[in-house]
Amino acid sequence: MMTDGSASDRPVIDAQKVGLTFQTADGPVHALKDVNLRVLKGDFVSFIGPSGCGKTTFLRAVAALEHPTEGRLLVNGMTPEEARKRRAYGYVFQAAGLYPWRTIAGNIRLPLEIMGFSRPEQDRRVKDVLQLVELEGFGKKYPWQLSGGMQQRASIARALAFDADILLMDEPFGALDEIVRDRLNEALLKLWARTGKTIGFVTHSIPEAVYLSTRIVVMSPRPGRITDVIESPLPRERPLDIRDSAEFIAIAHRVRDGLRAGHSYDD
Amino acid sequence: MRSVGPVLAVIAVIVALWYAAAVGMNAAWVRDQAARAGTEVSFLQIVPQTMAQERPVLPAPHQVAKGLWDGVTGQAITSKRSLVYHGWITLSATLLGFGIGTGLGILLAVGIIHNRAMDQSVMPWAIASQTIPILAIAPMIIVVMNSIGVSGLLPKAVISAYLSFFPVVVGMVTGLRSPDAMQLDLLRTYNAGRGQTFWKLRLPASMPYLFASLKVGIAASLVGAIVGELPTGAVAGLGARLLQGSYYGQTIQIWAALFAAAFVAAALVGIVGAVQAAVLKRMGMAR
């Protein structure tokens, strides 16, 4: 395990006054400003907001793919760079990004090969995660033989294979149709319940954010900042029809209000 | 195979035009001969004579075919008059040069994508090298290598390599850089090293580009080997055969050698294509 159990009350992600400014030809762009957030172990945190609000930038900063220019950002009590080197998280991108020259099993094996797992251990883990994302029997197929939804499930399996505690997902279902997205959301909640991972999830869909999350972080652009953090009162066990409940609608409403408030001055 | 019809039609048109051109271009000589002998020739008498000359301006297709056939099957393959003999001399230089050029091209491409200094310094030289006419540089390579005691196969292979490394460099640099930012980010999240990124992502991703380059490169290699044979004193090889033909006005021999070179090139490109299909199929990239 990458983290020590003793610090279970320590936040998994701890952002204090985090700011990130890109220097561009048109002058500085404030992608993030004064972001304060604590994510605890086992949380399912969604980041929602219009494009340019910095939600993806924040997730990438957690993954040490971007570097904050201000404030302090800790992942598992370490700098993001250290956490990345210790392979503390699995990252799921918007596109599945499977290698066309590798089978599904081969793609899932990729991080395991890089991290130096033994061959029998690789095989065992590939089998386990394929089961977890309900893709048993597809290991020998090539990516192009699978639908978009199945490819994205394979990419989630790839992120889970090395058993990092944190799963960072950047609009993983953004390119999929609504029906597939519903099924994958349901499957993701089951997976989260089974594995107990801490999940950071970027989306621009209000129902998706409300359905999945224990906490919803509403963000707004120019400069990218947090405008509201909503603790979800919904139970952890969530059937799809919970979306018709009054509670669900109330949270969705609050998210929408938050988004509208952040947006008001710019159109 | 619905494309057979159109292909045959195009070939038929080319052959017909060729015959027409042969009649037109060779007729002058027939008329001269007739004028010298003080006889009159009608058009119908001219036509067959234009196709049976020993040194026609433009040999008719069947003459070239016969010259090619005689050159390939009519002689022992060790004979100096055998196209197989000359073809093999050229082919061996082509293959060696292609091997050297491909290896060099891949090495340079790997250097270029991993080293900023190489990126900025090598590419301009590689481009400059290809703007120099190969006909100007080939004799110098032969002479310089001869003076240090290297002759025969290797100088020709060097000229081949000189022509074939370039498409490989260009193709491989593009191919090795083809993985997008997301693919590279993914490997960063695994904390993969440069070597792992190269072997697991960049190299496999570059394969389609490599084979496209190899097809250009092997044809260029053959051109290089033939050009390399022109200044060697016309001893052996398809290039030598071309040069001898032009010395003695043996147009049929020139055309036969040209077609032999064309068939060799087509076969080489075909082989590269077959290897490409097999490799990509094995990698699961062919659908």
What is residue B1's predicted lDDT score, i.e. its pLDDT?
62
pLDDT of the residue at B233: 62
Q: For residue range A198-245, what is the model confidence (pLDDT) as tens digits?
A: 999 999 889 899 999 999 999 988 888 888 898 888 888 888 888 889
The answer to whether A95 and A176 have CB atoms below 8 angstroms apart is no
At A101, the pLDDT band (50, 70, 90 cuts) reads very high
pLDDT the model gives residue A3: 44
In this complex, do A102 and B188 lie within 8 Å of one another by their Cβ atoms? no
For residue A108, what pLDDT is reported? Answer: 95
CA proximity to A200, closest of A217, A179, A187, A220 = A217
Taking an 8 Å cut-off on Cβ atoms, the answer to whether A65 and B200 are in contact is: no
What pLDDT, on a 0 to 100 scale, did the predictor assign at position B232? Answer: 63
Q: Does B285 touch chain A (CB under 8 A)?
A: yes
Architecture of domain B83-282: Orthogonal Bundle (1.10)
Q: How close does chain B come to A97, measured CA to CA in Å?
A: 7
* Positions of chain B with pLDDT lower than 50, given as ranges: none
Strand partners, A168: A91, A200
Tell me: the pLDDT tens digits for A41-58?
889 999 998 888 889 999
pLDDT digits (tens, 9 = 90+) for A236-246: 888 888 888 98
Least confident residue range of A3-12, A248-257, B39-48, B249-258? A3-12
ipTM of the complex: 0.86
Q: Is the pLDDT confidence value at A262 over 80? A: no
Assign A5 a pLDDT band (cuts: 50, 70, 90): very low
- Quick check: helix, strand or coil at residue A225? strand
User: Domain extents for chain A?
Assistant: 9-88+166-266, 98-163
Q: Is A117 on the interface with B (CB under 8 A)?
A: no
Interatomic CA distance for residues A149 and A181, integer angstroms: 8
Tell me which H or E stretch contains B123.
helix B116-131
CATH superfamily of A9-88+166-266: P-loop containing nucleotide triphosphate hydrolases (3.40.50.300)
CA distance readout (Å), B160 to B7, B84, B233, B265: 32, 20, 18, 13
A102: CB partners within 8 A, 6+ apart: A109, A110, A142, A143, B284
Please indicate if any CB of chain B lies within 8 Å of the CB of A95.
yes
pLDDT tens digits, one per residue of A61-86: 999 999 999 989 999 889 999 989 88
Q: Does the pLDDT of residue A267 top 50, yes or no?
A: no
A238 to chain B nearest CA, in Å? Answer: 31
Q: What is the pLDDT of residue A263?
A: 62
Measured CA to CA, the distance from residue A170 to residue A223 in angstroms comes to 20
The pLDDT of residue B197: 94
**Contact by Cβ (8 Å): B114, B203:** no
Give me the pLDDT at residue B30, please: 87
- List pLDDT tens digits, range A108-144: 999 999 999 999 999 999 999 998 888 989 999 999 9
Residue A146 CB contacts under 8 Å (≥ 6 apart), including other chains: A104, A138, A154
Average pLDDT value over all residues in chain A: 88
What pLDDT shows up at residue A155? 93
Are A114 and B284 inside 8 Å of each other by CB? no
Contacts of B183 in chain A (CB under 8 A): 97
Contact A101 B188 (CB under 8 A): no
